[in-house]
Amino acid sequence: MNKKYRKAIIAGNWKMNKLPSESRAFVEELKPLLPRSKKKVCEVILCMPYPFIPIAQRGSKEKRLALGAQDVSAHDSGAFTGEVSAAMLKDIGCKYCIVGHSERRQYHGETDSEVNTKVHKLLEAGISPIICVGESLEQREKELTLDFVAYQVKAAIAGLGPKEIKRCVIAYEPIWAIGTGKTATADQAAEVCNGIRAVIRSMYDARVARSVSILYGGSMNPSNCAELLSKPDIDGGLIGGASLKVADLAFMINATADGAAGEDEGEAE
């Protein structure tokens, strides 16, 4: 199985929830529930609002948990009121940053070209982008999903070399499944994640494509995660609502780690 060439990942996207003072306690509560395997079988990422990150980080020597942000400026520095640069995120210990989330595209007018610029800025700063793509319900009903998602992926990663794309994570998040309780079926999600890998393969090659982690996001929770994760091209989840509860998040992390630890030879890319 080619999952051995890439990381299994569970990333929580807290969006604009909780308070900075709650983040540290959450991390402390989560720590003892993380997989104990000596081998790192699942990368665990918490993408928090900016002010939480140094607080969640403080005093934590937890190597099994990486912190991430939810957006980054497309600019390096200067007169951009309210913006936070990739260098600033690096300086406070961010390893990952979400870009192109549908909520930023929808409510903040983020364009494909801005997403691409942000991806480049993050990589230059040494941060791995978690690039979100996904179709609307209307696009799905018109059977435009695969073409639209392929377009978004190509636009987001334009200009990246093979070494750079290997440092990116792609999250397939159908807009109609986000926060609605409507999950894509495992087959629907698998079809699109497979399509995303095919796009990367066509732009680079099979070796590069098999090393990029592709996540599913959209109402993922403890009861549907195992089926989604059983699909060969789904390497983990980007989780909103269910990542706000320690027990639910820990359940999904352990389910992913168990699946990854059980991975072996012999499956399609």
Please report, for residues 7, 102, 134, 232, the alpha-carbon distance to residue 265 in angstroms, rounded to integers and kept in the order given. 15, 35, 30, 12
Catalytic residue selected from 29, 43, 101, 110: 101
The catalytically annotated residue of 43, 103, 110, 173 is 173
Q: Give the closest residue to 199 by CA, choosing from 150, 263, 232, 152.
A: 150
Nearest approach in angstroms of CB 149 to ligand 13P is 15
Site string for ligand 13P, 14-53 (x = CB under 6 A): ----------------------------------------
Element housing 147 (H / E):
helix 145-157
CB of 98 to ligand 13P, least distance (A): 7
Residue 75: active-site member: no
User: Measured between alpha carbons, how far is 97 from 86 in angstroms, rounded to an integer?
Assistant: 9
* Shortest distance (Å) from residue 51 CB to ligand 13P: 19
Place of tokens 């999952």: 3
Shortest distance, CB of residue 179 to ligand 13P, whole angstroms? 4
Name the 3-class secondary structure at 94: coil
Between β-strands 96-99 and 128-133, what pairing exists: parallel, antiparallel or unpaired?
A: parallel
Q: Torsions phi, psi of 179, nearest 5?
A: 65, 15
Tell me if residue 173 is catalytic: yes
Is residue 68 a contact point for ligand 13P (CB under 6 A)?
no
Q: Are 184 and 135 in contact (CB under 8 A)?
A: no
**68/241 with CB nearer ligand 13P:** 241
Q: What is the residue whose two structure tokens read 């665990």?
A: 44
Q: What share of the chain is helix, strand, coil (3-state, %, to 5)?
A: 45, 15, 40
Q: Which of residues 165-204 bind ligand 13P (CB under 6 A)?
A: 173, 178-179
x/- letters, 199..238, toward ligand 13P (CB under 6 A) = ------------------xxxx-----------------x
In the complex, minimum distance from the CB of residue 181 to ligand 13P, in angstroms, rounded to a whole number: 8
Residues involved in catalysis: 101, 173
Residue ranges that bind ligand 13P, judged by CB under 6 A: 13, 101, 173, 178-179, 217-220, 238-242
